């Protein structure tokens, strides 16, 4: 019998839990070293609690990131990728795109590379479709990587399918294409040595498309940051609460601690709809949906799903 590839079934987190339990069973010194329990920790119970804490901490954050791999952008301030041909079309609010650019300043554009480093507030009423997980003046010349990859088969598609069906039930969604752009430990301008990590995951399948934004360590800065997405003439947009505020960055970044899908550090959006307007609790709103929904409501999973279901 051929064993399945473990890589497809055991994530890093599960592997760490496995090592932890295995070490517990053997009562080895390895456990004590691995989980930081040295000779001055008196009780075995303390050791176990520390181990659980470490595992919980690991599970609570890095696991939400998709694989960081692929082609790296050049180390150019305000630079961009070359034109990236998409292996499947991506529908973005009624427009179908077959190409994309990953820009070093924390955004993605479709028609052309874009080096703008000073963000404008969403809705910008501009002539550009824009996905901006973390738009500010970043600089990868000295440290940090801007990477992108796309997938049409394999475990990444399975993971995307599972994530989307969790966040957007009743669509029977099946992903056939995933595009991952990662800004890994990138500095703020200019070669500041700071390290900020975040990710945009574009997911497509059938008539549906989605964008996930994942936030890791967000270094402190006084620069303005806009996170979210915008469209041509801002017919659709979303500004993640905390954008342009002092709470956007630092160890308590609201992007990292908040979520609209009950997963701290992750934000999920359906992005295929080309219709305008929506209804929230029976009240008609114009396209400026985001401005009318409080952060606390977005935190509530049920009302989030209600909003998704009400979007007409
Ligand atoms: Ca820059």
Distance 156 CA to ligand 1 centre (A): 30
- The confidence score (pLDDT) of residue 293 equals 40
Q: By percentage, how much of the chain surpasses pLDDT 90?
A: 66
Q: Mean pLDDT for the chain?
A: 81
Distance 117 CA to ligand 1 centre (A): 6
Give yes or no for residue 257 having a pLDDT over 90.
yes
Distance 137 CA to ligand 1 centre (A): 4
Distance 54 CA to ligand 1 centre (A): 35
- Which is more confident, 82 or 53? 82
Single out the residue of 227, 229, 220, 228 nearest to residue 253, CA to CA: 220
Cα separation, 170 vs 193, whole angstroms: 45
Single out the residue of 196, 205, 96 nearest to residue 159, CA to CA: 205
- The confidence score (pLDDT) of residue 95 equals 97
Lowest mean pLDDT among 49-63, 67-81, 215-229, 285-299: 285-299
Give yes or no for residue 308 having a pLDDT over 70.
no
- The confidence score (pLDDT) of residue 32 equals 57
Single out the residue of 217, 207, 198, 203 nearest to residue 268, CA to CA: 203
Helix (H, G, I), strand (E, B) or coil at 18: helix
Distance 102 CA to ligand 1 centre (A): 13
- The confidence score (pLDDT) of residue 27 equals 63
- The confidence score (pLDDT) of residue 44 equals 66
pLDDT digits (tens, 9 = 90+) for 84-122: 999 999 999 999 999 999 999 999 999 999 999 999 999
Distance 136 CA to ligand 1 centre (A): 7
- The confidence score (pLDDT) of residue 200 equals 98
Distance 105 CA to ligand 1 centre (A): 5
Distance 85 CA to ligand 1 centre (A): 24
Cα separation, 257 vs 61, whole angstroms: 10
Alpha helices (H) in 39-152, listed in sequence order: 44-60
Q: At what angle do helices 44-60 and 12-26 cross, to 10 degrees?
A: 170
Give yes or no for residue 301 having a pLDDT over 60.
no
Q: Tokens representing 183?
A: 């800004």
Radius of gyration of the chain (CA): 21
pLDDT digits (tens, 9 = 90+) for 156-170: 999 999 999 999 999
With 0-12 / 13-18 / 19 or more C-beta atoms within 10 angstroms meaning exposed / middle / buried, residue 306 is: middle
pLDDT digits (tens, 9 = 90+) for 226-237: 999 999 999 999
- Which is more confident, 78 or 296? 78
Give yes or no for residue 8 having a pLDDT over 80.
no
Average pLDDT estimate for 67-75: 98
Single out the residue of 286, 269, 294 nearest to residue 234, CA to CA: 286
Distance 82 CA to ligand 1 centre (A): 17
What residues sit around ligand 1, an ion, with C-beta below 5 angstroms? 77-78, 105, 117, 137, 139, 189
Confidence category of residue 23, pLDDT binned at 50, 70, 90: low
Confidence category of residue 191, pLDDT binned at 50, 70, 90: confident
- Identify the residue whose tokens are 């967000």: 218
Lowest mean pLDDT among 36-40, 189-193, 205-209, 218-222: 36-40
Distance 204 CA to ligand 1 centre (A): 29
Lowest mean pLDDT among 9-18, 207-216, 235-244: 9-18
- Which is more confident, 59 or 309? 59
Distance 155 CA to ligand 1 centre (A): 33
Give yes or no for residue 283 having a pLDDT over 80.
no
- The confidence score (pLDDT) of residue 18 equals 54
Single out the residue of 61, 56, 57, 53 nearest to residue 263, CA to CA: 61
């Amino acid at each position: 019998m051929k064993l399945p590839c473990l890589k497809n079934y055991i994530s890093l987190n599960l592997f760490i839990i496995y090592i932890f339990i295995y070490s517990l069973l053997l009562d080895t010194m390895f456990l004590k070293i691995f989980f930081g329990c040295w000779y001055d920790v008196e009780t075995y119970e303390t050791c176990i609690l520390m181990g659980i804490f470490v595992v919980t901490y690991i599970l609570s954050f890095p696991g939400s990131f998709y694989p960081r791999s692929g082609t790296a952008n050049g180390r150019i301030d305000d630079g961009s990728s070359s034109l990236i041909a998409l292996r499947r079309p991506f529908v973005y609010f009624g427009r179908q795109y077959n190409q994309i650019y990953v820009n070093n300043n924390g955004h993605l554009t479709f028609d052309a590379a874009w080096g703008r480093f000073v963000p404008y507030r969403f809705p910008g009423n501009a002539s550009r479709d824009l996905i901006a997980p973390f738009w500010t003046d970043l600089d990868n010349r000295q440290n940090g990587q801007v990477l992108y990859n796309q997938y049409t088969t394999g475990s990444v598609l399975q993971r995307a399918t599972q994530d989307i069906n969790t966040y957007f039930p009743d669509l029977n969604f099946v992903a056939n294409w995933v595009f991952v752009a990662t800004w890994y430990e990138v500095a703020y301008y200019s070669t500041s040595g700071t390290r900020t990590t975040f990710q945009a995951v574009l997911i497509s399948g059938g008539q549906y498309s989605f964008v996930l934004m994942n936030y890791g360590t967000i270094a402190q800065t006084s620069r303005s940051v806009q996170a979210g997405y915008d469209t041509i003439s801002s017919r659709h947009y979303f500004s993640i609460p905390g954008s342009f505020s002092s709470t956007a960055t630092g160890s308590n970044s609201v992007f990292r601690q908040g979520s609209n899908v009950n997963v701290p550090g992750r934000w999920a959006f359906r992005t295929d709809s080309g219709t305008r307007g929506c209804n929230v609790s029976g009240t008609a709103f114009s396209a400026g949906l985001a401005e009318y929904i409080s952060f606390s409501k977005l935190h509530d999973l049920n009302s989030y799903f209600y909003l998704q279901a009400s979007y007409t």
